[in-house]
Amino acid sequence: MQKIWICGAGGRVGRKIAGLLDRKPVELLLTDIDSVDITNSKDVMEYAGINRPHVIVNCAGLTDVGLCESEPERAFKVNALGPRNLGVAARVVKARLVQLSTDDVFGGGGQTPYTEFDRPDPVTVYGKSKLAGENFVREFCSRHIIVRSSWIFGDKSPYLEHVLKLASEGKRVEAASDQTASPTGPQTWRKKS
């Protein structure tokens, strides 16, 4: 039976992936910062060595853009050093690593949708830290998949809950009109029949 380790399993994406995989014939290893801190290489190596996962899915990350700007060291620790530690562990135990990243690795301002072949050029600390994490994953783990998502919403999404609250109160909902993205939400995770 395949073992799948989901780091950041307590977050929105981690919970959703765990819920989808829970119905599959796999053994789920679910951790969050309270059980395995991905920024601690010793903890990561110990957990990977004991549990020997076949796949590691990194859903952990510091995603608050404002917080990343005010605490860049913390952003790079979580978003770059964490994936590096997981990449090393994946290589050692011969696991595949799925790294969740962001479209913020691009600078924005383009007039056409980005593809995986476009050159990253982040302008925020968040984007820079996530790109550093991607680069570490590429460097340390040859068996990897990098997923660059955009505007994740759904279960417990602060933005979506804010919009729904304002709408239910009959208040005006304002949103950025100068940004374009491909939102990633619950409908993209549903199994198609």
pTM for the full predicted model: 0.84
Annotated active-site residue 47? The verdict is: no
User: Residue type for 178, please?
Assistant: D
Q: Encode pLDDT of 99-155 as tens digits.
A: 999 989 998 777 777 888 889 999 999 999 999 999 999 999 999 999 998 766 666
Beta-carbon-side half-sphere exposure of residue 128 (alpha carbons within 13 Å):
12
Count of domains observed in the chain: 1
pLDDT number for residue 144 = 97
CB-based contact 40:89 (threshold 8 Å): no
> How far is it, in rounded angstroms, from Cα 98 to Cα 130?
14
Residue 8 pLDDT grade (very low, low, confident, very high; cuts 50, 70, 90): very high
Percent share of the chain, pLDDT over 90? 66
Which residue has better confidence, 96 or 118? 96
Q: Encode pLDDT of 162-180 as tens digits.
A: 677 777 888 887 766 655 5
Catalytic residue among 47, 114, 126, 159: 126
Tokens of 105: 């690795």
Tell me, what CATH number does 37's domain have?
3.40.50.720
Nearest to 89 by CA among 10, 1, 165, 29: 29
Mean pLDDT computed over every residue of the chain: 87
Q: Say whether pLDDT at 41 is over 50.
A: yes
* DSSP element (H, E) containing 182: none
Task: Tell me which residue range forms the domain holding 96.
Answer: 2-189
